[in-house]
Amino acid sequence: MSKIALTPNASGTGTLTIAAPNTSTDRTITLPDETGSIITTGSSGQVIPAAALPAGSVLQVVQATQSTNVTTTGTTLIDTGLSVNITPSSSSSKVLIQLHQHIYINSDNGFGWQLLRDSTELYYFWNVIHTQSAGNNYQFHPFVYLDSPATTSQITYKTKFQSRDSGELAGVSDGSRANNCVIIAMEIAG
């Protein structure tokens, strides 16, 4: 015969109350045969165990913005200032990254752009612009990436960039609009 054990927390001082609903019908609650945690609450205050959510469910969403002008004339990758932290509730979860970054370069230049999870490169690309116009050329770069971090520790997603040619200007967010660079991280149940 299986048993149910309630284990108090030696450090806590609060009282955990399990309350019965107002019902005249006999009900049976079957616990899943696995280890898990309660990860969220419903709109009416009920708890939803993680095991009850199907794969593909969105477990949490975090967002960060950046509007500070960052420039470089170097060919070494530097932080753009756009980053977001997320702590997955399960090591089987995936993290969907969506971002929109405002990047500009001076005429006939290019830039390198990188997405990282902590210090691990997830994606890198070059964008080269050939133009005869003088001044800065502005571009908005939407990007989507599905990551499998396999951890329940806090992780940071961020971007870096560099100029294609030494001495040529490349920048992110010219500061003319508030929060014109956005990154969103969504934990997806695995």
We report the CATH number of the domain holding residue 68 as 2.60.120.1340
Give the pair of three-digit tokens for residue 1.
Answer: 């015969």
Give the pair of three-digit tokens for residue 138.
Answer: 């502005």
In the prediction, which pLDDT does 113 show?
A: 92
Domain count, the chain: 1
In a domain, 80, yes or no: yes
In a domain, 18, yes or no: no
Whole-model pTM: value is 0.73
CA–CA gap between residue 190 and residue 183 (Å, rounded): 22
Q: What is the pLDDT along the chain (190 residues), one digit of tens a residue?
A: 888 888 888 888 888 888 888 889 988 877 767 666 655 555 555 556 555 678 898 999 999 999 888 999 999 999 999 999 999 988 999 999 999 988 888 767 788 999 999 999 999 988 866 555 555 677 777 899 999 999 999 999 999 999 988 888 888 887 666 567 999 999 999 8
In a domain, 5, yes or no: no
Q: 119 CB contacts (<8 Å, ≥6 apart)?
A: none
CA–CA gap between residue 100 and residue 181 (Å, rounded): 6
Residue numbers of the domain that contains 72 = 58-188
